[in-house]
Structure 1
Amino acid sequence: NYANDAPKIPAGAVPAEDADLITNLIQQGPVKMKLVLTPQTLPDVESANVIADIKGSEHPEQMVIVSGHLDSWDLGTGAIDDGAGVAVSIEAANLIQKLHLKPKRTIRVIAWMNEENGEAGSKQYAKDHEKQISNHFAAMETDGGAGHPIGVNIKANGEVKKMFALVANIFSPIQDSRFYFNYHHTAADTLDKIVPKELAENSAVVAVMAYALANMERPLPR
């Protein structure tokens, strides 16, 4: 996408493997490259978010969202961005059910559609649930790969951040993303980049966070 007054300069995403190859070639002497860029903008098609609920035992009308997004760049298979996030969200809910836990609030798993080029899925969800927004207690998204969890990113006011300060230093759904951008939005974003153990770690962390949020005694300040 370009701004109306911006020149349309061609751009391409290069995987880390190709960047390393180019670097090695340049070190050996002058390099001449030919880029064949084939992107095109196709007409919109109808798709959908995928939604599943673990119904709350005391406040079923209140929602804690756990989510990732279904779509990906078409160069790769979208394993890291964001198949991993969808898998983590589903497995987090699965863990809660396997342990026979009963969250007080509803835990809603959402696999968003159309995050990459417009966020139409989340925007449509917000529109469809406009009258119920006040019942959405918290929302989590896993969209940073599936590396070992190392921190927390809370987008909220200062009072909420203070409430989670102790937990933030222990674990959270932020992944070790040192290698994420080696494959992000390239043909190298494939299943072999996923480490099952780290995927399981993320699922456990998200499950704990979601269950804790669903059982908080007092509402989060808005």
Structure 2
Amino acid sequence: MMDRMQQRGYKIVVKLKMSAKTLPSVTSRNTIAEIKGSTYPEQIVLVSGHLDSWDVGQGAMDDGGGAFVSWQALSLIKQLGLRPKRTIRLVMWTGEEEGAFGGNEYYNRHKKDIANFDMVLESDEGTFTALGMNFQGNHKAMEIMSSIVDLLKPINATALKKGGGGEDITLWMNAGVPGGSLMNANDKYFYFHHTDGDTMTVQDPVAMNLCSAVWAVVAYTVADLEKMLPR
């Protein structure tokens, strides 16, 4: 509306009054669950989303959806009675909105074991209809991931794009750990992001099931490979 007014020649003056404030820090915690690997339990495939949300709406899309599909990925694997060679670990991060506090603290506590982190994934860009994966790794790792997403042909989620990641896993990826994020049909994501519109009514159960399937297939397959992804 303001753009159209400006095009008609109106001079627009905006007065913005904000009541946001930074309160004293308090203790908060990441929530962690895992399926222990059968052969290489010390090696980790990590899936994640963040639990906290902005101060309006319900945080259903940002990032309840990402946290839920990460939880559901482990749940599906367990329900199917599967146990991969490596440990699949879920982390639901705290304090992402304020500055990735949970993600940064986790990295600082575990970076000494970085050689055992096989892949890190975060879903924080919506859980609309799944399309595939955004992934960052070397050429060989990209080839392996291309073969993995081909397994998702039955749900039409075979797209693979170089890039992706998330605020909470940035330090891992910058240090060379292969990582990525869920690719979904999120062209309307910013209709809801950090607004009063980010409520449970945004979430579609069928779309979330498909996102969970992508997360479960990718995490399990990587965790069950004979070797870790190349770096």
Q: Is the CA contact (8 Å cut-off) linking 2:148 and 2:218 kept in structure 1?
A: no
How far the C-alpha of 1:33 sits from its partner, in A, is: 6.6
Give the corresponding residue for 1:94.
Answer: 75
Larger Rg belongs to: 1
**Number of residues of Structure 1 aligned to a counterpart in Structure 2:** 202
Q: 1:49 aligned to 2:58? A: no
Give the corresponding residue for 1:140.
Answer: 121
- For residues 98 and 26 of structure 1, the distance between their equivalents in structure 2, rounded to whole angstroms, comes to 57
Give the corresponding residue for 1:67.
Answer: 48
Unaligned runs of 5+ in 2: 159-181
- For residues 4 and 81 of structure 2, the distance between their equivalents in structure 1, rounded to whole angstroms, comes to 55
Q: Which secondary structure state, in structure 1, belongs to the residue aligned with residue 92 of structure 2?
A: strand
Q: 1:204 aligned to 2:213? A: yes
Q: Is the CA contact (8 Å cut-off) linking 2:132 and 2:214 kept in structure 1?
A: no
Deviation above 6 Å: which 4+ runs of structure 1? 22-27, 30-33
Q: Which secondary structure state, in structure 1, belongs to the residue aligned with residue 96 of structure 2?
A: coil
Q: AA paired with 2:134? A: N
Q: 1:176 aligned to 2:157? A: no
Deviation track 1:54-83 (CA, whole Å, cap 9, x = no partner) reads 011111111110100011111111100000
How far the C-alpha of 1:122 sits from its partner, in A, is: 1.1
Deviation track 1:97-129 (CA, whole Å, cap 9, x = no partner) reads 000001110010100111122111111111111
Give the corresponding residue for 2:143.
Answer: 162
Q: Which secondary structure state, in structure 2, belongs to the residue aligned with residue 164 of structure 1?
A: helix
- Cα RMSD after superposing both structures: 2.3
- For residues 134 and 32 of structure 1, the distance between their equivalents in structure 2, rounded to whole angstroms, comes to 54
Counterparts in 2 of 1:53 and 1:166: CA distance versus 1, 3 Å: closer
How far the C-alpha of 1:167 sits from its partner, in A, is: 3.8
Deviation track 1:116-171 (CA, whole Å, cap 9, x = no partner) reads 22111111111111221111111111111110111321122222112222444652
Give the corresponding residue for 2:222.
Answer: 213
- For residues 23 and 188 of structure 1, the distance between their equivalents in structure 2, rounded to whole angstroms, comes to 22
- TM score, norm. by length of structure 2: 0.79
The equivalent position to 1:104 in structure 2, one of 79, 82, 85, is 85
- For residues 25 and 190 of structure 1, the distance between their equivalents in structure 2, rounded to whole angstroms, comes to 30
Indicate the larger mover: 157-166 or 189-198: 157-166
Q: Which secondary structure state, in structure 1, belongs to the residue aligned with residue 135 of structure 2?
A: coil
Give the corresponding residue for 1:189.
Answer: 198
- For residues 228 and 24 of structure 2, the distance between their equivalents in structure 1, rounded to whole angstroms, comes to 43
Indicate the larger mover: 48-57 or 121-130: 121-130
Indicate the larger mover: 151-160 or 92-101: 151-160
Q: Is the CA contact (8 Å cut-off) linking 2:149 and 2:218 kept in structure 1?
A: no
Unaligned runs of 5+ in 1: 1-18
Give the corresponding residue for 1:130.
Answer: 111
The equivalent position to 2:134 in structure 1, one of 131, 139, 153, is 153
Q: AA paired with 1:77? A: Q
Q: Which of the two has greater helix per residue?
A: 2
Indicate the larger mover: 149-158 or 89-98: 149-158
State the percentage of identical aligned residues: 42
Deviation track 1:18-55 (CA, whole Å, cap 9, x = no partner) reads x7xx789999xx79876442211222211010001101
Q: Which secondary structure state, in structure 1, belongs to the residue aligned with residue 126 of structure 2?
A: coil
- TM score, norm. by length of structure 1: 0.82
Give the corresponding residue for 1:15.
Answer: none
